[in-house]
Amino acid sequence: MSVEQRNYEERHVEKRYDSSRVASTFIKYVAYVLITFGVMYFIAKYILPMF
């Protein structure tokens, strides 16, 4: 056996996708974005005109 054959290791990685987990993560980040833009809108509309 050559050195290359002895150091070679074959791995099979199985990727699993849980659709409910993906959906809940998507909803969570959409909520973060909406809250962020809501706060920015509030600041721009009501706080900044006071100055």
Total residues belonging to the chain = 51
Average pLDDT over residues 2-20: 71
Please report where in the chains the tokens 């959906």 appear, as a residue. Answer: 23
In the structure, what pLDDT confidence band is assigned to residue 13 with cuts at 50, 70 and 90? confident
pLDDT at res. 44: 96
Average pLDDT over residues 26-35: 98
Percent over 70 (pLDDT), the chain: 84
Decide if pLDDT at 1 tops 70. Answer: no
C-alpha distances out from residue 38 to 21, 31, 48, Å: 26, 10, 14
What gap in Å lies between CA 35 and CA 33, rounded to an integer? 5
pTM of the predicted structure, to 2 decimals: 0.61
